[in-house]
Structure 1
């Protein structure tokens, strides 16, 4: 099998030359266009998630030899979660080569965070199956770059951190309220308010509810911690 011109260009951006091009084709094939003769990337996604996790865990141990498990775990989560994978996918324009069904294409699938994140994990697995762990590690470390060493020392999930802050002060867990939703279905913008039992709140906007909730939680936590000196 020979890769199409767009996939050849993508492989160059990825930094890997495929001995088995069919692996890359499968990695970019979404379930919305799969068939018995055209398998989708879900099994590769499953594998790629594990390969990425092992590479990141190893890299974090090397980057900070004195860090405790409690410090490493949130950093690890920040580096392997779907948003991080989608960010890397955007940098190498993975969306441009995703093979999608018509409905997904019409709904903006090439820009969807979940599809980009899943696709990135599948591509990692394709490299791993094509050339082994060392090749996959080289690709991952190149693409993730300085993220490994610059990830926040305390990269706790903002919602978890805010909940811990509230509970430490005898308050109920924060509530998250959708204030508004604007934009077309394929590119919505959610305005979310994070509210504490004591009445304080902060709002934030993002392209997904999860991102907006995280941003609102961080804004509120930053405000509360600043107010408490």
Structure 2
């Protein structure tokens, strides 16, 4: 599951991103309102966590803008203000749930999964897309398991996160900085290249190719029928 964390507290964001990654989420961090708004309007996230106290554009304004453009996107609000009017403003602005700081991570994780379950049961939103396919490849986003022609493909945690991102953006270029953000990496090493190489080898018989777009990133697409004949 791809998740955007919009939080201006860098220490909290780093710790929370690490915990969310261990819980199976592919996390991208936005440090302020404009970045959060741009990413949420242009990337296929499954769920978002938005802090109300974002700088430049506050979290409630981001929520209202994103809700107008993506009405089915599950959103959980973070706030340090445990007041009724704050909770009502969040819910009336389109939040699916909210949690007040300080909080225990296990509660936040439970709320995230509950919101995603409701979204899937409603049959709407990115959270409803539990399975991604391309060619003979089928990927279960919740269990992070891949199958090619019905046979399981063994993936490391990072490979599974990377494949999720590529499949969710089939036919579109995924930038190296986007991949680095998933792993809380500064992008200075060759981690992306190594995992792309391994994925290519594992998906050789899937009818799916991962192309390198020089200077930009990577693009996944299904090969035309008969291309491998």
Asked if Structure 1 and Structure 2 have the same fold, meaning a TM-score greater than 0.5 normalized by the shorter chain, the answer is: no
- TM-score when scaled to structure 2? 0.26
Asked which structure has the greater CA Rg, the reply is: 1
Higher percent of residues as strand:
2
Higher relative contact order (CA 8 A, sep 6+): 1
Higher percent of residues as helix:
1
